[in-house]
Structures are given as structure tokens and as C-alpha cells.
Amino acid sequence: MVLQARRADDPMLEHERDCFVAATGLDRDSFDWRNVVDGVPALSEVAAADALLIGGSGHYSVARPDAPFFDPLAELLRGVCASRHPTFGSCFGYQLLVAALGGAVAPDPAGGEVGSFQVNLTDDGRTDPILGALPPVFTAQMGHLDRAVELPAGVANLAASERCPYQALRIDGAPIWATQFHPELDQEANLHRYLAYIERYRPEGAGVDDGFPSGPSPETSTLLPRFLDGVATGAVR
């Protein structure tokens, strides 16, 4: 199951689905797509899926949770964590998990990361069964103007960047990971998304190509397949 939070007129709704299909190598029919704008699924529905993936958000912010789906979604994610259901969240999904479990997310447009940025594994990250397969320093695709400023108790910080000290997490004792960066995006897909949201992301007075560092991120493209393979084989517990 993939959770999205996107308006019906957001062109990135279908683009995001295409990216998850490409990143995982699975057939499109393998996915149960759920847009929480239309309703938050029950915990029993999530439990019926092999794994849960949580995608991004075009017009919604965890730092400003004013949409009606935020409270039931937070309750669902607390249930997912309590039941230890295999889960991987990216960007908005990362921030949702942080906030739902008692951490804090705040706006930080000055420190936002939009484009391709260098990320460093922490000591916990280097020994993690999923992120630990990455090199100590790698490039990741980013697209966020909010960030976690405090992690919940029992949550390991697995990675950090120069602008953002909290870039990846694992729920202690559970097969639940999330990254502030987008492992489902490659360089081209991230540029496509940037152009779709350019009026929001582009610094005032900047040109189309200004303020968007761009580069390949081959290492992070391995994360979702590694996670799902671990779920399928039982290696991820």
C-alpha cells in the first residue's frame, strides 16, 4: 500500500506513482494506491498489505497540519508502529512519522533542500540493516522546506546533511524506516517535480536553473528494493 497526500489536480499524483513503480521494479498492479485526501485507510486495511510506503505531499505541510486528514493519519501511523508493520516513508512520510510519535517538525525555508544534496550516515546508520549498505557519504534527491527539529523517543537518527541534521530514522525494534530524502526519485524525476512546483521552491528573483543543485543518486535507488526484498524474505523484522 502507498499513502499519498495530493490534491486531485496535482500533476505529481500520477508522477509519484510512476516513480514508486520505477524505483521498486514492481508491476503497477502490485500497489494499492491510497490518497489520504480522499480518506485515511483503516489499520486493518494497512495490515492486509505486505508493506506500507508513504509518499510525498504537494500542497500539505506537517508543520502546518490544517487539513482534516492529519489527525486520523497520525492515529493510523501510531497504530502501524505499535503493530510493527513493515513501513518505509519518504519526505512527507518521514515528517508524518516524526510528528505522530511525538517529535517536532518546523518550517525552515532558509535551510530547505531542493535538488541533489550530500548526506552522511551516522554511527547508527552505518550499522543499520537497510541504510548501512550505503556508502558513508552519498547523494540523495531532496524537496523539502520543512524539517524535523526533534526526533521522538526510541527513534534512531541514521543520517544527516549539512543543512538538516535529521535525514533518516528507524523505529526501535520495528521494521519501520523513513528518510527525509526521496529514494523513489532519480535526478531527472526530481527536476521534473521541481519544475512542477517551481513557484513554491524557486528563490525569489532566481532563474529556472538557479537554486537547484542536480546530480545522480544511484546509491539511494537501492533502498526501496532492499527494504521490500527484506520484507518478502523475512530478513526485515
Q: Scan for cell 526533534, then name that residue.
A: 150
CA 225 – CA 23 distance, rounded (Å): 7
CA 41 – CA 26 distance, rounded (Å): 22
CB 37 within 8 A of CB 9: no
Burial (CB count within 10 angstroms: exposed 0-12, middle 13-18, buried 19+), residue 88: buried
CA 32 – CA 66 distance, rounded (Å): 26
Task: Please give the positions annotated as active site.
Answer: 91, 182, 184
Beta strands 137-144; 87-90: pairing state: unpaired
Count CA atoms closer than 13 A to 17's CA, side-chain side: 18
CB 87 within 8 A of CB 51: yes
